[in-house]
Chains A and B, each alone.
Chain A
Amino acid sequence: METIHLKTVDPVSQELLRFAAQRGIELPWERYEKLQPQDGFLRLGLSCPFGCMQGPCRIDPFGRGAGKGICGLGRDEMVAGTLLRLCLQGAMDAMGSAATLETVPEVQFSDTLGKMVSSVLAENGQADLNGSDILKGASMLGRSSSTCQELLVQSFRLSLLTLGFLEQENEQVSAGTKKCDVGYTIVDKYPVCIGFSGQPSVEFVQQLEVESRQGPGASVALVSLGEWISLKDRFMPIACTSGESELLMSSGAIHLLVAGPGTDPGLIDLCREMKIPVAVAADIAESSDVVQRARQMSSTVSQMSLFTDASQAGDVEVVMSNKDSARMFGEDSKVKIALIGGTDSPQMSLGQLPVELANGIQDQGFRVAGWGDTALWMIKNGLTSDEQKSEVLILEDRQGPLLAVKDLAEKDQLGRLQGICFTGLKNSGELAMALGLAYLGCPVSVAAPIPVQGSQLVKDTMAEMVQSNGGELNHYDHVPQAKEILEWFTTLSIKGAA
């Protein structure tokens, strides 16, 4: 427990960590420590990703052992292939539930994004994007016959496709904002809490909302455990960030878990261990039973108040679409904009980077917007309150920085974009988004190491390809401190002035 401050900066979360440790509950931090060191070859991108059965082949990064795979594949192609595999997965994540699709969908870019993408593709002499790029990417990973350059080009094409699919997913959203309540205090207000993880179906959640208001007994709160679950006119209240979901569950404050698609297995295992009922968000007919079981569960556990010190975060407005241009960054072209977002990771103390970065960047006079877990940390730390000299803008989770980029592009003010920083990556979709934005010409920094360090050629080629479109892709070979990322933002400022 002497390292507790390395796990999270939130004092209430630190208290919950002590509580879990006393009860011998294993949380992601313990699993992370046991997994150290994680596979070095995969971390470097030197474990062959191609779909052949001769391997697994791995290249010795220190030059003594294997320098090529059995088929003769070199280290550069292996690393580029690893990146392509991640981008392919990212595009498929953004495409929606692949399991329910019968054909690969076609991508429909909005006018703004479409123009940006077409211009980049034309400048690089590439054909238009379509859904078959996914199949091409998958086929390239079947046999290791493509060059490093070809693999990287396809990776970037898939990352652009990811942006298109993400935008398409959100096209139904009407202009404007949605409210969202954030913070541990939400669970303290209600005697019965049903936690949500993953992305349960809207119908199931709506049915549960109705059921939770009906019937005898204590009122029931529906709270999200770190997921941005969009309801009709607002977001489901978010009790904690995704990195804290198991921590909150371990406190016993959640009486039933509704596990939607994408729920981490660790959360379900923890519920089993703590004998908390789990409902799979699929069968709407069972919603009344779900509420009843949560009420029963709450009557059998003694509630400890662990959240007395939690700050009241309150409601925030989340920007859902760049159609509401006035709500975004205004017209003042002198105000530079910094976008910070991403997912919690046990690699760094939860909340540290988002809050330090946001404060540091605001001190330099930039307007800040955030998304994902990073945004939740900003809200929890009062950076979105009206009392702040410059209120942080919260962007819809899935599109995040894309909304801001489109808004600026529409106003022909992309020059106002100071930089985009991903404070942590949870899945390949987020990596593909970062690469896509960089390839579109945005300055992007990724605070989590990406598996390309095994090849200098791949790193150099990626940087050149991004720079040729006017963008920048900054990534680290270590877990960076806030100071380093702030320096990156400042360096960009100097470059821009020059």
Chain B
Amino acid sequence: MKAIAVHLDRCTGCKTCELYCATERGSNAKTLLQAVQETPLPQARVRVEGSSEVPIALQCRQCAQAPCVDSCLTGALRRDPESGTVVIHENDCIGCWTCTLFCPYGVIYPWPERKIALKCDRCLYMESPVCVDACPTNALELVDIEKYEEFTRRKRLETAAGLQENEHLAGKLLLDLVQTR
């Protein structure tokens, strides 16, 4: 199973992922210049949240024990057995948006115009997720869950190496942490 990982240090909050997700997954035309002319306006399945200092692109985490699947009244939310991805079957969705209330990350969105809920399915039927392809800084990366430990280990080592290079900063960070607590 694969998941979309976010490199927080690379995300600039440019929202390119949002634009191209909405275009590719939400529009009929599949091109940005045409998508903005459609009614209803296409909606993105990834949303950039956070402040200007710490922007973060958020999309469905495909939880191993997904509350949205359990809460769905009509069974529209189902796990794809092959990929393990939670997929919304739009024909079965009645737009009750119970799933949006249960989602611990708040990454399932109501789409009132189409009377359905909207969530990331990691572009299951495409070669790779459009947000990953579109991200200009490679802040979004498709990671194999089996290799997730290796991925996070690499991140920890990078952080440690960065702190080693800037010892004075490391001290300050620790101080900040102590003072905050």
Contacts and interface: CB of A to CB of B under 8 A. Distances in A.
Please indicate whether A and B come from the same complex rather than being unrelated chains.
yes
A441 interface: no
Contacts of B19: 37, 40-41, 61-62
Contacts of A477: 31, 33-34, 37
Nearest to A58: B15
28 contacts: A37-B19, A37-B20, A37-B32, A37-B134, A39-B14, A39-B16, A40-B16, A40-B19, A40-B20, A40-B32, A41-B19, A44-B36, A60-B15, A60-B18, A61-B32, A61-B35, A61-B36, A61-B41, A62-B35, A62-B41, A62-B42, A63-B41, A453-B33, A456-B37, A477-B31, A477-B33, A477-B37, A478-B31
A454 interface: yes
Interface of A: 37, 39-41, 43-44, 58, 60-65, 449, 453-454, 456, 477-478
A402 B171 CA distance: 68
Nearest to B36: A61
B44 interface: yes
A37, A449, A477: most-surrounded residue (chain B CB, <10 A): A37
Nearest to A40: B19
B19, B35, B41, B44: most-surrounded residue (chain A CB, <10 A): B19
Contact of A453 (B14, B16, B18, B36): B36
A62 B34 contact: no
Nearest to A35: B136
Nearest to A453: B33
B59 interface: no
Contacts of B100: none
Nearest to A449: B33
Nearest to B47: A64
A44 B33 CA distance: 7
A453 B42 CA distance: 15
Q: Is the interface of B mostly helix, strand, loop or mixed?
A: helix
- List of 10 A-B pairs having minimum Cβ-Cβ separation, nearest first: A477-B33, A40-B19, A61-B36, A453-B33, A62-B41, A477-B34, A62-B22, A63-B41, A40-B32, A37-B134
B62 interface: no
B26 to A, nearest CB: 8
A478 B43 contact: no
A364 to B, nearest CB: 28
Contacts of B44: 62, 64
A39, A40, A43, A478: most-surrounded residue (chain B CB, <10 A): A40
A478 B20 contact: no
B44 to A, nearest CB: 7
Interface in B92-137: 134
Contacts of A65: 15, 18
A454 B35 CA distance: 10
A37, A43, A61, A62: most-surrounded residue (chain B CB, <10 A): A62
Nearest to A478: B31
Contacts of A63: 41
A478 B33 contact: yes
Interface string B7-46: 0000000111011101100100001111111000111100
B127 to A, nearest CB: 15
Nearest to B27: A62
A449 B18 CA distance: 21
B37 A453 contact: yes
A64 to B, nearest CB: 7
